[in-house]
Structure 1
Amino acid sequence: MSAMQLQVNPADETIGDGDKGLAIRFLVTGDGSNGSVAAFELKVASGLRLLAPAHSHDHYEETIYGVDGVLTWTVDGKPIEVGPGDALCIPRGAVHRFDNNGSQGAKVLCVVTPAAIGPDYFREIFAMFHAAAGGPPDKAGMMEIMRRHGLTPAVPPPA
């Protein structure tokens, strides 16, 4: 049995777009936890509505812990505000998204168990946002990236 090298924030990497007000800072990835957990900070600017569609994932739970500000998570159609000290576990299969409807930035800690998603997903999504050069991102391309990384985009309700 090989010993893992122990260190604080072994996957310390920030992925984001300051212009859009969204940043993800990975702290631990599956590579640093034998696949058991991934953890990242999520910073969301005030008034930011998420560009990606609501989605679910069948291979992991996602637990959200509020650090600063308030994010509104919509889980299976129900809005749930997560503020400092609040924790929300989003079960496998639940359709969810988040928005910052507040007047201040928000920061949460996201813990994914097992570590079925990592920085590659966010790198690809942000590359797509940058390629759009401020215009709307390629929706079909975004959904393909989501599916490839184990996220199932929700079908929008009929108009």
Structure 2
Amino acid sequence: MFNGTVGVRHIVDKVEAKGRFSVLEHPMSPRALAAPLHRHHNEDEYSWIIEGRVGALLGDEVLYGGPGDFIFKPRGQWHTFWNAGDEPARILEIISPAGFEQFFDELSDLGGIDKVSTEALDALCARYGLEMDVDSVPELCKRFDLVFPGEPI
């Protein structure tokens, strides 16, 4: 599934992990911003880089990693991530506790982040305890030389 910025493949869902965690794979096209600046109120996210070069903004800290590197995005912290390279990138995303993985399904049903109405996105974010700063996208793209939305891969 492609939600307008990155691919989403469900690997472990909340049923399989008894609600403790979920695991997703996110393939990202070159130089693609994965999401606007955002923060989760209910979940921690752990990103394991499988392929490519990935950048992340955690608060004011900018991190870069490659295959085998791990990025922790704690709940309550403003963050985003992107493919920092000119080749495709992939991460495994562990979300704890489980449940937020369904956000991506609902977002896809609404047409993806680049097509959803502001009202529908606000309602979706509220249901999942997510704050999203969509106005951050132009500055992030300029600062890190990115595109938004990305291309399906």
Asked which structure has the greater RCO (Cα within 8 Å, sep 6+), the reply is 2
Q: Deviations over 1:34-90 (max 9, x none)?
A: 10110011100002123x421111212111101000121111132211310101111
- More divergent stretch after superposition (147-156 vs 95-104): 147-156
Check the 8 A contact 2:46/2:70 in 1, yes or no: yes
Distance 1:74 1:63 in 2: 14
Unaligned residue ranges in structure 2 (runs of 5+) = 140-153
Q: TM-score, normalised by structure 2?
A: 0.77
Structure 1 vs Structure 2 CA RMSD: 2.4
What percent identity do the matched residue pairs reach? Answer: 23
* Count of aligned positions: 137
Unaligned residue ranges in structure 1 (runs of 5+) = 1-14
Q: Deviations over 1:99-155 (max 9, x none)?
A: 22310110001001111312x31122123335x9xx754233223212212212248
Check the 8 A contact 2:2/2:108 in 1, yes or no: yes
Equivalent residue in structure 1 for 2:77, among 71, 86, 94: 94
What is the 5 A alignment of 1:1-159?
15-16=1-2, 22-50=6-34, 52-118=35-101, 120-129=102-111, 137-154=116-133
Distance 2:61 2:105 in 1: 29
Q: TM-score, normalised by structure 1?
A: 0.75
